A and B are shown apart, each in its own frame.
Chain A
């Protein structure tokens, strides 16, 4: 089980973006983390996976534990080895490399050739599109295929918990449906899933539990079916009212991404 308790995160020593977040992902379950742009969803994941450093972010308070062990000071590679892998927002495949090479990077922490081969077989069965494109340069894949590749790459590490940051972003409804089915399948095979989404409908339809974030806080959480019934949730996240509201959120996004090298 993943437990995040009272987490506070500050960027550049000044910008407080998480103000005491607490979430739980029980073993083998799908949990949805919802919220508008800038709510702090990605930041939460960065904290869990040890990637805050790259963004000059720091955990100033709170704890993150995985299977009872504190992981907030672990480096990203050790966290992957401990069983938590993520699909970054925006896919972030290695566009210059082939599909197979991308998958190899995902298997970087593999313990043996045998486990790598097993993961590869599993991924190829789960994503038949990739099987046909093994030696294609991944940058030439379609958006949907790239999302599949990003998920497949993360699965190569054979995680116990898979974190997906907005996997439906920019995909056509049919592909969103496909992504959804795959997440269900991954979960069926025993992997826990923390699903970050703006598409609340999709996320809540497969998650057992959901959290809703606003400006760095969890403002609501509960069983998915309860959330789906909730009026506020319907109004703000399911778009069951005046259309266009959600669109305006979209424009807030995008601070300048600054990558940093880890020391």
Chain B
């Protein structure tokens, strides 16, 4: 087994270390932000907090590996293209497939539950999570890791003095920024405005001729696509060697980010994602020598931040104070 550095190797002055760690934190935050955005869009549009997000994320990452490695589609037809580009195209295919699966899940399992107690719907998403995770787990195999390839290399990095920047980190951050920009554009577009309207007042939106059902489908499609996007960066080197049982749990680590941001806020998902990513990385580095805190304390930090934010702002940083229930 290759040993993979999960965090950038650090050398150099304290300032250089700080910069290295900041980039690392931003990259991790970008993944959390992508995952959180999917959660929030589904919640905002349909008022359903989905606990199947982690499973969908892992499923998507598995699909990426399936297209990129197993089938080598579309790489087999365009072998001359750089590997990163081939991988990107495979990822796009996987994302489209996952978005379709997201729509199907909504149509089959969630829509019939509309109007039923929220608790029942949440239980359904938990059920979905278990089912999807089990199926994907069977494909992956017990304790296995299914490689996704290494589109941004294993150790490919730039060194500027003592500052280390990994290619994969830059890719993650760029993809997150582009995604946020696309979403901002989307929510100003005709369909995006219709989605916001439906989220705000379903009946009033329907009275304008907006089909609420289609909006729900679309929200789940977008949510699933974002889950996969986050899942990819959680599964590829250097963060991991590929898709494993852990990929599904990774998405759940975005949970504090959503709560910090305020559940129904797009901006909150992004800010929350970056806060959590940064807190986790910084704690991992600067508190690792405080042995009293124990090993792996950094993974607890997001929850501590979450609790601190909730104590001061019970609805998160940007959450709607009165979250309306359907």
Contact = CB atoms under 8 A, between A and B. Distances in A.
Interface of A: 49, 51, 54, 56, 75-77, 80-81, 85-86, 88, 92-97, 101, 104-106, 108-109, 153-154, 157, 258-263
B197 A77 contact: no
Nearest to A50: B206
B209 A157 contact: yes
Interface stretch (B26-34, B72-80, B92-100, B210-218): B210-218
A97 B196 CA distance: 8
B193 A106 contact: no
B304 interface: no
Interface stretch (B107-115, B153-161, B267-275): B107-115
A263 B293 CA distance: 51
Contacts of B210: 77, 105, 108
B15 interface: no
A54 B114 contact: no
Nearest to A153: B208
B114 A260 contact: yes
A80 B206 CA distance: 9
Contacts of B204: 88, 92-94
Contacts of B205: 94, 105
26 contacts: A51-B206, A51-B207, A75-B211, A76-B207, A77-B209, A77-B210, A81-B209, A85-B209, A88-B203, A92-B201, A93-B204, A94-B200, A94-B204, A96-B196, A97-B193, A105-B205, A108-B194, A108-B208, A109-B208, A153-B208, A157-B208, A260-B115, A261-B212, A261-B326, A262-B213, A263-B114
Most buried by B among A93, A96, A263: A263
B88 interface: no
Contacts of B194: 105, 108
A259 B201 CA distance: 9
Contacts of A81: 209
Given A101-B193, A263-B213, A80 B208 contact: yes
Interface in B68-125: 111-112, 114-115
Interface in B120-169: none
Interface of B: 46, 111-112, 114-115, 190, 193-194, 196-197, 200-213, 216, 326
Contacts of A97: 193, 196-197, 200
B326 A105 contact: no
Contacts of A101: 193, 196
Contacts of A92: 201, 203-204, 207
A217 B201 CA distance: 30
A153 to B, nearest CB: 7
A96 B195 CA distance: 13
Contacts of A154: 208
A260 B326 contact: yes
Question: Helix, strand, loop or mixed for chain B's interface?
Answer: helix
B114 A86 contact: no
B201 to A, nearest CB: 6
Contacts of B196: 94, 96-97, 101
B194 to A, nearest CB: 6
Given A105-B193, A263-B114, A54 B208 contact: no
Contacts of A75: 211
Contact of B206 (A56, A76, A106): A76
Contacts of A96: 196, 200
Contacts of B216: 261
B114 A76 contact: no
A255 to B, nearest CB: 15
Nearest to A92: B204
Given A96-B196, A157-B208, A261-B115, 9 more contacts: A51-B203, A92-B204, A92-B207, A93-B204, A104-B193, A108-B210, A261-B114, A263-B112, A263-B213
B207 A86 contact: yes
A259 B202 contact: yes
A106 B207 CA distance: 9
A95 B216 CA distance: 21
Nearest to B205: A105
Contacts of A56: 115
A203 B209 CA distance: 27
Most buried by A among B46, B193, B209, B212: B209
Contacts of A49: 207
A257 to B, nearest CB: 9
B209 A76 contact: yes
Most buried by B among A92, A95, A154: A92
Contacts of A105: 193-194, 197, 205, 208, 210
Contacts of B203: 51, 54, 88, 92, 259
Contacts of B201: 92, 94
Contact of A109 (B112, B115, B202, B209): B209
A259 B326 contact: yes
Nearest to A49: B207
A85 B46 CA distance: 24
Contacts of A262: 114, 202, 206, 211-213
